[in-house]
Amino acid sequence: MPDVFDKQLSPFAQALTAGGLRPFCRPMAVRNGEAMDHGVRVVMAACNDYLGLAGDPRVIEASAKALDLYGTSCSGSRLVCGTLPLHEELEGRLAEFLGCQAAIVTTTGFQANLALAPLFGRGDIVFSDMANHASLFDAIRLGWADRRVYRHSDMGHLECQLATADVGAAKVIVTDGLFSVEGDLCRLPELAVLARRHGARLVVDGAHDIGLLGARGRGVAEHFGLPDAVDLYTGTFSKCFGSIGGVVAGPADIIAYLRYTARSAIFTASMPPAAVAAALAALDIIESEPERRTRVFGLAQRLAGQLRALGFDVGEAGTPIVPVHIGEAELCARLWQEIFHEGVFTQAVMAPAVPVGQAAIRLSLQATHTDDHLSRILDAFAAAGRRLGLIPGPAAAPTPRRPRVTGVSVR
Ligand SMILES: Cc1ncc(COP(=O)(O)O)c(C=O)c1O
């Protein structure tokens, strides 16, 4: 008799998730570019708080005030008792910031993307970059439209798919603005041309670029000087905004439609007051402190250059996401462990987050990282990479600041 519980993780995944030295779901206290792991302080190089606002005293104070005023939760959906004046203030501010008519905030960025589903109707066609975030793929699955996946940033492939699609179908291209693993930007100028040529709408998930890119932090469209190229934005507050929550911004009639039809916005409790207030305070800082963007880009480019000089393949993206390409998942896990032994927490990215054979160590830099953090990250990669024979140079003995960890190793 088949049983829906007859499922289990692969032996490799079990080893990775069960051990004391596991890269995933590790309990740690994270703050300002560092983390406490089992009593040992490590450099945090995997957190998407790019501007370092999650620990900013102004953001914390605003959040604490809202907590005091409104309590911990609205305990209801936006439609019922979950809309505070704060939610509407944040929506108004974000719409203005992104140059859109209106915005709706959701409880997470994932839900902001799922909120796109009602736009993907029967007979419509959604063209999606292969490297888009899982939540965009899930939004397409929740809708009724046909899905066409084009190779990552391959404009020729996209054009071919657009050209051969039913001319009578409503079309939409969905793309991450700044891709979350490779750290590269979408090719917005070409996407905009293709969208206009084929009568397609263009939706950009600005999860990683809103707050980070462009002189005023308004994202990829500002970066490329194309304020009118994007028809609809989605975004998150869990990265540059040091909070949690999501947003969809665009034409007023479409936002009004989504407000009453998007299941991920209706059938769920609204963004908690403290998170809304934190996002509002973060937006003030995003607008007034461009030096944070300059700092984090400078750090990332310096680190990428130094890692490249050591012999690592870090790509050419030049953004605060620095991927260190490894390939095989087991090797990636071993490198992750060695780097962690050296006192640096990184993100191991493996299938299904990336295609099999394209595992990588993903680094994300923060404006609050110090120069000392940067050299500790570099030293950790040098020591670990040499020990595993990934880069040239004499293998040094492990440093004495190894985090104290117990349990099963993935080796
Ligand atoms: C590109 C992209 N979109 C959406 C999300 C979802 O955002 P959140 O974590 O706020 O749910 C993420 C999160 O990792 C992301 O990287």
CA separation for the pair 303, 314 (Å, rounded): 10
Q: 3-class SS at 38?
A: coil
Name the pLDDT band for 349 (thresholds 50, 70, 90). very high
Q: What is the pLDDT of residue 14?
A: 86
Q: What is the pLDDT of residue 402?
A: 53
CA separation for the pair 404, 342 (Å, rounded): 11
CA atoms within 13 A on the CB side of 151: 6
Phi/psi for 303 (5° steps) reads -65, -45
* Catalytic member of 180, 238, 243, 270: 180
Percent of the chain with pLDDT over 90: 89
CA atoms within 13 A on the CB side of 168: 2
To test ligand 1's pocket by mutation, which of 48, 106, 107, 110 has the most ligand atoms within 8 angstroms of CB? Answer: 110
Q: What is the pLDDT of residues 329-348, one digit of tens each?
A: 999 999 999 999 999 999 99
pTM score, whole prediction: 0.94
- Mean pLDDT for the chain overall: 94
The question of whether 208 is a catalytic residue gets the answer yes
Q: What is the pLDDT of residue 399?
A: 66
Residues 6 or more apart whose CB falls under 8 angstroms from that of 21 comprise 337, 340, 405, 407, 408, 409, 410
Taking Cα atoms as reference points, which of 378, 371, 366 lies closest to residue 314? 378
Task: Give the containing element (helix H, strand E) for 373.
Answer: helix 371-387
Taking Cα atoms as reference points, which of 35, 295, 32, 343 lies closest to residue 303? 295
Q: Which residue has the tokens 């002189």?
A: 215
Please write down the long-range contacts of 196-201, taking CB distance under 8 Å and 24 or more positions apart.
Answer: 197/162, 198/162, 198/163, 198/165, 198/171, 199/171, 200/127, 200/162, 200/171, 200/172, 200/173, 201/171, 201/172, 201/173, 201/231, 201/232
Task: Give the pocket of ligand 1 (CB within 6 Å).
Answer: 108-110, 113, 133, 135, 176, 180, 205, 207-208, 236, 238, 246
Instruction: Write the DSSP assignment of 285-330 as a string of letters.
Output: HHHH-THHHHHHHHHHHHHHHHHHHHT----S--SSEEEEEEESHH
The question of whether 180 is a catalytic residue gets the answer yes
Q: What six digits make up the tokens of 187?
A: 């090719």
Note whether 198 and 221 are within 8 A (CB).
no
* Catalytic member of 87, 133, 171, 208: 208
Q: What is the pLDDT of residues 62-94, one digit of tens each?
A: 999 999 999 999 999 999 999 999 999 999 999
